[in-house]
Every structure is written in structure tokens, then in C-alpha cells.
Structure 1
């Protein structure tokens, strides 16, 4: 089976155009400078190239390999191991629906089925561009450690808790229409490429980001509250 059939990025004979390289170099060098061994910068550097194109392309793999003194095979192995690195173009927003056990039985499977029908896409597929110029990629995701709030969804890895099919459809409609969307326990959602730049380690400039970021909710703290009431300590 070919790399194309497997969905793996094809590493081309040539890398990024010079103007892209010139744009990436200062940020890539800043990322690499954080690590005493430069190959340790591979994960954030992959997020940086994903911020450039909206996925990790063959050009991005070659760029990372050349910057870090690695083979393209080594970089490809990492880029295809971690699910946060995408091998095809992601829309302006990545929408994930947890279909792991607890979320699934509490409605995650129904949410995912209704979103596929509502958007006209399958798993890991991108919608057409809306009249407002937005698109999104829909994907079923494994557990994101938010079982207290099942069924849950993510938009660019920000949590949306206690979802229902109707709430999910309203959420994606807002995204495609360009209306502001705020995470349940986090900041306002930004675009996928901006999110990737933040994950690469650059400043999160959203005004409410300091107060958000997936903080614990009441459901997560019930056990601690009861323990305090009883005067119990671990």
C-alpha cells in the first residue's frame, strides 16, 4: 500500500519556498533555543509547521528534519504517531467529538452521527467553505480526560462540556457563521492555525486566556468538597 493510500505525507524532493522559510526561521530558531538538545524541539516544531499550512505536509516534515538534523523517516514516525498532528488539511476549526466509552454511552455516538449528517461529512473530513468563508474538520476523538462532563466535545482542543445533539449543531453553525464561541471552561476559541502557534509555545494573546484554559469545574471537585466537609485528608 502506498503512502498516499495510508494517508501519510509524501516527502517531496524540495522543501518550502524561500519566502516561507524566511518567515518560519525566527520562530523555529526560538523554539529550538529552548532545548539543550535540539532534536527535543521536534514536537513544538511540528506544531509550528502545522500553524503554517493547517496540517503537517511533506514540506513541513523536510523542514523539521533539516532544522533538527533528523531523517525525514524519524520526523514522519513522530508526526504520524501523535493524533494532534494532521496529515490532511484541517479547516478553520477542528471539531472533536469524544466517542470513548463514557461519552459514547451518554450520547457521544448520537452527537457524532447527527453532526456528520448535519454537516454532510464523514470522520476526519472537512466541510465546504461557508458563505462567511469558514470551514471545519469533524473527527471522533479518544478520551480527553473530561469524563466528569460527558458527553464532551472540543474545538481546537478547548472543552465543551455536557453536550447534546442540538447544542452540538448550534456550536458548529456558530463556528461556520463566524460568530464568537467561548469554551465551557476556557477562553474564546481562536482559529486552528493560531491554536497551533500557541501549542508551539508562543504567547496566547487572547484577552481571556489567563482566566480560562480548561480549569476544573464543580463536578471534578465534588470528592474534594466532601472530604473537606468531613475533615478528611489524603
Structure 2
């Protein structure tokens, strides 16, 4: 993966977020959440700044980033799509829903569409098992999703604003 050059503004933003949590090592997950929400992802160069500010090893930061499925080291699409693959969702057809997203977007899990609109990931559990299978697009949760609904969900975001009627 090619190295990226962080701007002084970006480095300053990361340092400010770390300072909000008193540069405490125990606040690593909170820092990572805040930084990812600001920058969209956590490349190695960002992790290095966080490690320095929290006075910890880059390996420890990397370990947390790669352990939790919420964090990503790759730039995400404008509309990140996640399909829950937890037991309840899997049993109720999440694999077919994921296959349909892959087919319609012509991307694999971990990839972003060429236009930058969509990225695709799978999660271990969303925690909404009663709504299985569950799909999230950004912060919006869709429950009891079937492969036949995938096109309609994608179309909502291609057109602009998602309708409230579709959310669970």
C-alpha cells in the first residue's frame, strides 16, 4: 500500500482529538472512533500519529484497528454498505443478500465502487438479530432484507436522499 502524506491540518486535527481524551492510552478506541469519523478511515500514517500522541506502540494501535470490524484502513465510499453475517442474519439469508450487493455494485467485500459512491463490507454482528438479515448503509439500518430489495436500496442512494419508509 503506498504511503500517504498527511497535511499539517490533518495532523493537527488528530492531535486535537487525542488531546480531547487527555492523550490517555485507555482512550484509544474513543480516539480511533473520533479520528475515523473525521477522516473516514485510519491509514498507517494516521495510526502512527495517534500512537505517538498516546505514547504507545504503533503495533498496539494497529492491533486494535484490525481487531474491530468497525475500523477501516481503506477509504470508504460515500455510502458504506455493511451486511451482517452474524448467526441469525446468516441463517436467514445474509449470504444471498451480500451476493446480490456484490453483483449489482460489481465490487467485492472491502472494495469501493469506481465512482466512490459505495463501499461494501460484512460485519460479525450488528446486534439487531430480530430484524435479520440486517444491512446498514452509513448509520441507517435496514431489517429483514431480501436479495430482491437490494436494487431498491442502492437506487435510494444513487438518487440522493434515502427515504425514511425503508428503515427498520
Q: TM-score, normalised by structure 1?
A: 0.63
User: Are the structure 2 counterparts of residues 47 and 15 from structure 1 closer, same or farther at C-alpha, using a change threshold of 3 Å?
Assistant: farther
The alignment status of 1:184 with 2:167, answered yes or no, reads yes
Q: Which residue of 1 aligns with 2:118?
A: 136
Given that 1:54 and 1:91 are in contact with CA atoms closer than 8 Å, whether structure 2 keeps it comes out as no
From 82, 104, 109, give the equivalent of 1:118. Answer: 104
Q: Which residue of 1 aligns with 2:79?
A: 93
Given that 1:93 and 1:136 are in contact with CA atoms closer than 8 Å, whether structure 2 keeps it comes out as yes
User: Are the structure 2 counterparts of residues 19 and 100 from structure 1 closer, same or farther at C-alpha, using a change threshold of 3 Å?
Assistant: closer
User: Are the structure 2 counterparts of residues 48 and 19 from structure 1 closer, same or farther at C-alpha, using a change threshold of 3 Å?
Assistant: same
Q: How many residues align?
A: 167
TM-superposed deviation, 1:112: 1.1
Q: Which residue of 2 aligns with 1:202?
A: none
Q: Which residue of 2 aligns with 1:192?
A: none
Q: Deviations over 1:12-42 (max 9, x none)?
A: 6x97332222344433322x13xxx811111
Gaps of 5+ in 2: none
Q: Deviations over 1:149-192 (max 9, x none)?
A: 1111112254211112232221122123322344734xxxxxxx
SS of the counterpart of 1:166? Answer: helix
Q: Deviations over 1:116-144 (max 9, x none)?
A: 11110111211121xxxx51111222222
From 18, 28, 38, give the equivalent of 1:28. Answer: 18
Q: TM-score, normalised by structure 2?
A: 0.85
**Computing the radius of gyration over CA atoms, which structure comes out larger, 1 or 2?**
1
Q: Which residue of 2 aligns with 1:150?
A: 132
Given that 1:93 and 1:135 are in contact with CA atoms closer than 8 Å, whether structure 2 keeps it comes out as yes
